[in-house]
Amino acid sequence: MITAIGASGLGPSVAASLVQLVAVVLGGPLLVGLMAKVRARAEGRTGAPIRQPLLDLRKLVGKECVHAEHSSVVLSVAPFVLVSSAAVAVAITPLVTTSPALRQSADLFVIVYLLLTGSVALALAGLDPGTAFGGMGASRAMTIGALAEPALLVAVLALSVQARTSNLPAIVSATLAHPAWAASPERLCALVALVVVVIAETGRIPVDNPSTHLELTMIHEAMILEYAGPELGLVTLGEAMRLGLLFALVANLFFPWGIATTTGAIPVLIGLVVLGAKTTAIAFAIALLEVSTAKLRLFRVPELLAGGFVLAVLAVVAGLVTR
């Protein structure tokens, strides 16, 4: 299957990857802005324009970089590691087309561990200045990450067992070929588990509140408290890219229709538009979920993630029973 798609040359697939990268670099912040807008409207406010995160990025780039007194080189390297690991993950995942560059290596486990690389870099950066808040954020983020990881990997396994491979383009193509899979019990269980993980990994309510201004309740924001200027911009961009990637991944794993199966200009364009529509829908849904729930206490979050894990295990079991 993959070899047939792989007949197209290297150039077009690299171009497709770059299209995906640009789409996520611009689209990720827009999704964040959209979710803030939906929230504001639901609460009866006008809210900032959707493109506000992009404007913020431009503002941050022009500012001065400030490093904490006791920080080392780790603090300034981490944002680059975060952004580049996210960029590689975006470039090789089938988002707009099923044949981006390096698609043979676009393994689900590779994507999971690339995202983990970014999280580890940020946690180390949180500990680097040697402050109480940074350590608090890093500790909480790693705890939640450690609990989200099993749910994520087992949900991924459920999809892989069904498709008999963990190669992403192959899973997406197989779903296109077997539309009934999308409604199978293992897919539905895995979908719920993955949504829980996505909420945890992107730091949304009920796991973390992205707009909190109280240090003691922060998770992600506490970890990046020492960042300023362009480096803060890179961190926010990296986080927005990860959000965009995870939304797009959920969309394509469970509802891949519309994705380009070649690297031709027209299908890629269609794929781009469809991807935009799908991720917008997910952003809407999660924003509404955020408005309607309260943030969980930190020590209630493990229960939510354990629920995700159990659902993921159920997904695998369902897959094994029904085959």
Partner 1 sequence: MSLLLVGLGLGLAAALAGALTSARVRVLAAAVCSSGACVAAFVAAGRVLISGQTSTFRSLALLPFTGVSLSLDPLAALFIATTAVVGLAASCYGVGYAERGPRSRTATAMLPLFLTSLLLVPAAASVATFMVVWELMALTSTLLLLVEHRHRAEARDAAQWYGAMTHVGAAAILLGLVLLASHAGGQTFAVIRLHADRLSPTVRSLGFLLVLVGFTSKAGAVPFHVWLPRAHPEAPSPVSALMSASMVNLGIYGIVRVGDGLLGGGVLWWWLVVVGLGVVSALFGALHAAASSDLKRLLAYSTVDNIGLILIGVGAAGALEVTGHRLLATLSMLAALFQLVNHAAFKGCLFLGAGAVQQATGTRDLDRLGGLVRRLPLTALLFGIGALSISALPPFNGFASEWLLLQGLLHGFADHNAATAIALLAGVAALALTGGLTAAAFVKALGIGFLGQPRTPAAANAGEVAPSMLAGMALLAAPCLLLGVVPGTVVPMLRRAAETGLGVTSPDPLRAGLGLDLASVEGTIEPVLLLAALVAALVLAWCCARVFARRGARRAEAWGCGRELQTARMEYTATSFAEPLQRVFADVLRPDHDLEVTHVAESRYFEQAISYHNRVDDAFERTFYRPVIRLVETWGRFARRAQNGSLHRYLAFGLVALIVVFVVLA
Between CA 98 and CA 107 the distance in angstroms is: 13
- CB nearer to partner 1: give 146 or 281: 146
Q: Environment class of residue 132 by beta-carbon count within 10 Å: exposed (0-12), middle (13-18) or buried (19+)?
A: exposed
String of contacts with partner 1 for each residue 11-50, x by CB under 8 A: ----------------------------------------
Q: How many other CB atoms sit within 10 Å of the CB of residue 37?
A: 20
- CB nearer to partner 1: give 41 or 300: 300
Between CA 210 and CA 245 the distance in angstroms is: 18
- Residue 263 is given by DSSP the state -
Interaction between residue 161 and partner 1 (CB under 8 A): yes
Interaction between residue 157 and partner 1 (CB under 8 A): yes
Interaction between residue 128 and partner 1 (CB under 8 A): yes
String of contacts with partner 1 for each residue 54-93, x by CB under 8 A: -------xxxxxxxxxxxxxx-x---xx-xxx-xx--xx-
Between CA 110 and CA 113 the distance in angstroms is: 5
Between CA 238 and CA 129 the distance in angstroms is: 20
From residue 89, give the alpha-carbon distance in Å to each of 53, 103, 115, 167, 202: 22, 11, 8, 13, 15
String of contacts with partner 1 for each residue 282-321, x by CB under 8 A: ----------------xx--x------x---x--xx--x-
Q: How far is the CB of 72 from partner 1 (least distance, A)?
A: 5
With CB under 8 A as the contact rule, the residue among 4, 22, 105, 273 that binds partner 1 is 105
By CB under 8 A, the residues from 189 to 228 that bind partner 1 are 215, 225-226
Interaction between residue 176 and partner 1 (CB under 8 A): no
Between CA 174 and CA 172 the distance in angstroms is: 5
With CB under 8 A as the contact rule, the residue among 32, 38, 154, 287 that binds partner 1 is 154
Interaction between residue 126 and partner 1 (CB under 8 A): yes
Between CA 278 and CA 284 the distance in angstroms is: 10
- CB nearer to partner 1: give 122 or 287: 122
